[in-house]
Structure 1
């Protein structure tokens, strides 16, 4: 089975705020986003982060994007992000 992978690299200097908001964001995704499989947050040098999110299909990912920050946990996490560096979509092939 292939899955859709969302790769979002962003800058966030308020580490405590970002990490405190993460559990609620994941809970909101789990209850509100069809096809959400899992997410991993990777800290990079220079206040940059990489969020690796897996979706069941491209349609599930697209539907999630349309919802945006529609729930408090998601909004709080997004609010802790200072700037988007790049967002990409791919397919996991293993």
Structure 2
């Protein structure tokens, strides 16, 4: 099974382009520095709401990443654009990532 992190957050419309521009560096930091990171999908739900779905090999990998927080420049920049975290949940899927 794969661990899935689902985080819903708000970013003002005026910063949407900056958020999208910061995304590649954040993903690069996760890929190079976070054990168990399998990939992510960013979904725009409305003018200022987003859903980030991140796939982890294990729940422990996700917990370690959460513990470390924004300790890399790309992650810090992306997180810094978020005004409010609405919700954050963890689940599992039996579907392979990318299916």
Query: Aligning the two structures, in what range does the TM-score lie when normalised by the shorter sequence?
Result: over 0.9
Deviations 1:28-79 (A, max 9, x none): 0001100000000000024100000000000000000011000100000001
Q: Which runs of 5+ in 2 are unaligned?
A: none
Q: Which runs of 5+ in 1 are unaligned?
A: none
Aligned length: 93
Q: Which residue of 1 aligns with 2:83?
A: 82
TM-score by length of 1: 0.96
Q: Secondary structure of 2:35's match?
A: coil
Q: Which residue of 2 aligns with 1:32?
A: 33
TM-score by length of 2: 0.92
Q: Secondary structure of 1:9's match?
A: strand
RMSD of aligned residue pairs (Cα, Å): 0.7
What CA distance in whole angstroms lies between the structure 2 residues aligned with 1:79 and 1:45?
Answer: 20
